[in-house]
Amino acid sequence: MVIVENLEKVRKIARDCPQDVVLVAATKTQSKETIDEFKKLAPEFILGENRVQELVEKYDARYVWHFIGRLQTNKVKYIVDKVSLIHSLDRLDLAKEIEKQAKKHGKVQDCLVEVNIGGEESKGGIAPENLFDFVETLKSYEHLRIVGIMSVLPNLEDKAELNKLYERLKNIYDELKTKKQQNLDVKYLSAGMTNDFEIAIKHGANMIRLGRLLFGERIATK
């Protein structure tokens, strides 16, 4: 079920902020029927899937899809022909596989580098201090294009600390935008989910990923 009043709230917040915001609906555990219903109500949203198997099962070429979850290297081949953007590039072996599979399909795969801004061991992502060296190592990859960064911030009750992390993330994004590299075209700061998307937008995020806010609590899966 789509929560229509929340959809209108998100639209208003995005409309009122100074930057254009790309809206991504996180479709994890949602059925094809729910997704179709949602797209009728909100055609401007891109669909973001966390799991490769679910993406393959739900994939509909009528819609634009992003992959927003942790991506295993051996699963790249199943999605590279289906997604316009991969949000979670965070290691060299994954970059090599994306380059390999994108070349097979004759495409340049847009990616965001995931940054672990909170330094959480439970989450993927490049440490902020390693980001620029990592991007530099990808400069010869002709079928992979870095179009920005993504981060999943800690779930903090201390809003002052959360704001500091968002400020740091925005500074990193701004600095990356100044870097010149053939396969670098930095446009997106993907940050902010149901719990913190308003703070993310305030700090310059121009791509947000929303799940529970749009669909309610997720259905439990094994």
Per residue in 88-126, pLDDT (tens digit) is: 999 999 999 999 999 999 999 999 999 999 999 888 899
Q: pLDDT value at position 17?
A: 92
CA 119 vs. chain centroid, Å, equals 18
Could you tell me if residue 199 is inside a domain? yes
At which residue do the structure tokens 């295993």 appear? 72
Could you tell me if residue 222 is inside a domain? no
- Nearest-CA neighbor of 148 among 184, 104, 97, 196? 184
Q: pLDDT value at position 219?
A: 58
What are the angstrom distances between the C-alpha of 17 and each of 23, 24, 49, 197, 207?
Answer: 13, 17, 26, 12, 12
What is the per-residue pLDDT across 39-94, written as a single tens digit (0 to 9) for each? 999 999 999 999 999 999 999 999 999 999 999 999 999 999 999 999 999 999 99
Concatenated DSSP letters for 60-72? Answer: -TTS-EEE-S---
CATH number of the domain where residue 43 is located: 3.20.20.10
Could you tell me if residue 219 is inside a domain? no
For residue 218, pLDDT over 80 is answered with no
Could you tell me if residue 220 is inside a domain? no
What is the per-residue pLDDT across 15-29, written as a single tens digit (0 to 9) for each? 999 999 999 999 999
Could you tell me if residue 221 is inside a domain? no
Q: How many domains does the chain have?
A: 1
Could you tell me if residue 200 is inside a domain? yes
Distance between CA 112 and CA 135 in Å, rounded?
10
Residue type, 82: K
Could you tell me if residue 92 is inside a domain? yes
Could you tell me if residue 93 is inside a domain? yes
Neighbours of 142 (CB within 10 A): 11
Structural domain for 92, as ranges? 4-214
